[in-house]
């Protein structure tokens, strides 16, 4: 498409969206868009994702619709950068995710049975480990992204370690509820603040120690 083809256009396809991003990144396109790198718009990706989540939390379709578009723009910008470098295109990204979905749903596209959500998730996890060459639970735990917020990552690490039998399950506390747990977490953050400590960094470091300790125990 030429630049003039976008002027006054009301309805766009996904392919035209991708082409629009290429136009913005072109030598005669937008100086700002052209200057961006993966690193320079890293935080933009995070912000747009959280704003989309806000649309979900507020149960507001209009916000979600707008912010999903912004998230898709970030995806297309990153894909365009890689296409310019000759590494991959948005088409490759789409092919990869579609193949992944088919492979990880043997209970839909093959002969594996899943009678409920739990069995479907087990099937997904089994295929994911096979796909990524993870031979044991420790590798699965270590694969949890370090870029996740530390609190989210900590809970995911615990769930994977528990499911893999790397740590014993903890006894439930009948007194624990959303309010009491929220208060405890808030109090811990307040304690960190009063002592000049960064709660996020402390939990990040502990998550790393948790994985390292699991690895040490596995070697014994």
137-180 tens-digit pLDDT: 888 898 899 999 999 999 999 998 998 888 887 777 777 788 99
CB neighbour class for 157 (10 Å; exposed up to 12, middle 13-18, buried from 19): buried
Residue 28's φ and ψ, nearest 5 degrees, are: -105, 20
pLDDT the model gives residue 108: 93
At the fourth CATH level, the homologous superfamily of domain 3-90 is: MazG-like (1.10.287.1080)
pLDDT the model gives residue 16: 96
Sort residue 110 into left (φ over 0), alpha (ψ -120 to 50) or beta. Answer: beta
pLDDT the model gives residue 207: 95
**The model scores a pTM over 0.85:** no
Q: Domain segments of the chain: what residues?
A: 3-90, 136-219
Positions of the chain with pLDDT lower than 50, given as ranges: none
CA gap 109, 96 in Å, rounded: 16
Is residue 54 within a helix (H) or strand (E), and if so which, with residue range?
Answer: helix 42-57
| Contact present, 142 and 161 (Cβ < 8 Å) | no
């Amino acid at each position: 498409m030429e630049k003039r083809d976008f002027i006054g256009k009301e309805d766009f396809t996904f392919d035209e969206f991708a082409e629009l991003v290429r136009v913005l990144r072109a030598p005669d396109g937008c100086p700002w868009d052209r200057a961006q790198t993966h690193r320079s718009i890293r935080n933009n990706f995070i912000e747009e994702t959280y704003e989309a989540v806000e649309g979900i939390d507020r149960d507001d379709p209009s916000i979600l619709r707008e912010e999903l578009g912004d998230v898709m723009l970030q995806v297309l910008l990153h894909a365009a950068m890689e296409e310019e470098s000759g590494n991959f295109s948005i088409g490759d990204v789409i092919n990869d995710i579609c193949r992944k979905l088919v492979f990880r749903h043997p209970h839909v596209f093959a002969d594996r049975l899943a009678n409920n959500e739990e069995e479907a998730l087990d099937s997904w996890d089994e295929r994911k480990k096979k796909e990524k060459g993870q031979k044991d639970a420790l590798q699965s735990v270590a694969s949890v992204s370090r870029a996740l917020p530390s609190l989210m990552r900590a809970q995911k690490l615990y769930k994977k370690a528990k499911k893999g039998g790397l740590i014993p399950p903890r006894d439930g506390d009948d007194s624990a509820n959303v309010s009491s747990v929220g208060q405890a977490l808030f109090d811990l953050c307040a304690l960190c603040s009063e002592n000049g400590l960064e709660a996020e960094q402390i939990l990040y470091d502990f998550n790393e120690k948790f994985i390292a300790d699991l690895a040490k125990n596995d070697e014994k």
